Amino acid sequence: MARPVARRLAVLAVSAAVLSVGAAPPSAGKTEAPVTADEKVPVAVGYGGAVASVDADASAAGIEVLRKGGNAVDAAVATAAALGVTEPYSAGIGGGGYFVYYDAKSRTVHTIDGRETAPLTADENLFVENGQAVPFAEAVSSGLSVGTPGTPATWDAALDKWGSERLGTLLKPAERLARDGFTVDATFRSQTASNETRFRYFPDTAELFLPGGRLPVVGSTFKNPDLARTYEELGRKGVGALYRGRLARDIVDTVQEPPVDPASGWKARSGDLSLKDLSAYRTKRQAPTKTSYRGLDVYGMAPSSSGGTTVGEALNILEGTDLSKASDVQYLHRFIEASRISFADRGRWVGDPAFEDVPTKELLSQKYADSRACLIKDDAVLTSPVAPGDPRDPAACGTGGTAAPTTYEGDSTTHLTAADKWGNVVSYTLTIEQTGGSGITVPGRGFILNNELTDFSFTPANPAVHDPNLPGPGKRPRSSMSPTIVLDEHGRPVVALGSPGGATIITTVLQTLTGFLDRGLPLVDAIAAPRASQRNQTTTELEPGLWNSPLKARLEAIGHGFRQNPEIGATTGVQRLPNGKWLAAAETVRRGGGSAMVVRPVP
């Protein structure tokens, strides 16, 4: 028998309690001073609440809110707004995301679907011209790719239901950061460099992100006064200003007539986003997905995200294997095959439930998972693409249709995790789709618009099978974002986490969860472990830590094929420790390392 998960977690909690890195405690009489962040640390333990994100300035913004008496929701909004300043190529008010909230008083989990939507005029031929799919690279940097932003509405909905502070107050740290500037690091410069060509297509983008016509210099101060003014306006008027006011008109004008440099020769197709689309936008409060795993309850995001169903199905498939006793090869083999199978079902069944009949309950049933788990053999590898099963009529080791390839999703996005002194927790993934989004900055507003509609299938992934992810009027494109919260048998938080990375988000969250829950890794080590990602494709992606490991050859001997990916995901998480303590954890290396902070570190 495997050691009970509860015992393994207790051991991890004791180990975590000896850690003491994080944000320094405030000096007496100076608790109102802004929090500053000079360096990133990947793990912090202490009291009063915790924040983990990819960026130190953003985590500090959340900690500042917690120190002033705000709750986890308030801190999450403040952190997200700051990420819109320091991580503008990954997230911002021009995008959308998914918000998962644990309420400590009722011990319940709630979610907000803040995914972008297609224009109300869109149909399944949104990305088809002359009978052919628009080339992906051309679709990305165009008005055609821009969906109605959902991030501001998500903040508004979360604060209205669970927050304790005004939006204007929570935007102040980010407004200050945009106005006064932040220090450019190597990651920001590298991401700018990789987008330089297309940024130059759009004069407003080039002026903002290529100051003086050049790449920002590492160590220099980057300021965004336009975004500071936009945040100030939203704080003063409310987010309705983005959906119905002058800012809404600016967004619509930019999408319908992308401001292109004529000398660039770039054809930026016009989008059909309208004032009606913006005014009609609504977030969706809906029940989370729920999966039982090793006696714990794993909550995630229901469709339109595929994160909750796909992570949940894979966990159910793995439930029958004692991963705590498996060798490294056996563990990775089972993890890869469970990922392969769950992605096969994701591609066939998951789309926007307002348009598609998504069998969410059936996909998460243990009966269905067992019918799929029996496909996995210890001495052989399934051939991708694996055909989907039929969750409504499970057949042992059966497949129920024609396989479809996994469509591309941008590998940008960002994730933050927050907890407060009352025990509330937020796991929040937000995005503008791929790094740099559409590349189009709203003139005078300081933020880039998303290219989220390219997450739709441009044409059916397999003409012989219904594709649930084709565009439609007001439809939300399928997402892989997987903000997750795990509760124990008493309904108390164990861990919350999530990651960016496009479709690799699902495998990153799954691998981090199993590393922490099954393999006994401390949370920061589970996050740092070298990753594999199998998404029902011919080969599995490996980070260098596995590519250069003897494990690769041993897995190849079973039949696995691999390709290298230099970096997969950028996870953040929080773990509840005994006696009101929290552990915050983030990346040690990926994306230049993440930032974990607590309000009052353990001495």
Q: Which residues are catalytic?
A: 413
Q: Which of 421, 419, 423, 416 is nearest to 106 (CA)?
A: 423
44 phi and psi angles, rounded to 5 deg = -145, 145
State the pairing for strand pair 582-586/572-576. Answer: antiparallel
Half-sphere exposure of residue 505, counting CA atoms within 13 Å on the CB side? 36
How far apart, in whole angstroms, are the C-alpha atoms of residue 325 and residue 323? 5
State the pairing for strand pair 493-498/532-533. Answer: unpaired
Q: What angle do CA 244, 246, 248 make, to 5 degrees?
A: 50
How far apart, in whole angstroms, are the C-alpha atoms of residue 384 and residue 298? 28
Binding site for L-glutamate: residue ranges? 115, 455, 479-480, 502
Full DSSP string of 299-325:
EEPPTTBSHHHHHHHHHHHHTTS-TTT
Question: Residue 346: which H helix or E strand, with range?
Answer: helix 328-349
Alpha-carbon Rg for the chain in angstroms: 23
How far apart, in whole angstroms, are the C-alpha atoms of residue 431 and residue 462? 27
Q: Which residues contact 367 (CB under 8 A, 6 or more apart)?
A: 394
Q: Which residues of 60-82 are buried (b: 16+ CB within 10 A; e: fewer)?
A: bbbbbbbbeebbbbbbbbbbbbb
Burial of 349: CB neighbours in 10 Å, binned 0-12, 13-18, 19+:
buried
3-state helix, strand, coil in the chain (%, to 5): 35, 15, 45
Q: Which of 479, 503, 481, 469 is nearest to 126 (CA)?
A: 469
Half-sphere exposure of residue 265, counting CA atoms within 13 Å on the CB side? 1
Half-sphere exposure of residue 39, counting CA atoms within 13 Å on the CB side? 6
3-state SS of 416-479 is: EEEEECCCCEEEEEEECCCCCCCCCECCCCCCECCCHHHHCCCCCCCCCCCCCCCCCCCCCCCE
How far apart, in whole angstroms, are the C-alpha atoms of residue 539 and residue 243? 43
Burial of 2: CB neighbours in 10 Å, binned 0-12, 13-18, 19+:
middle
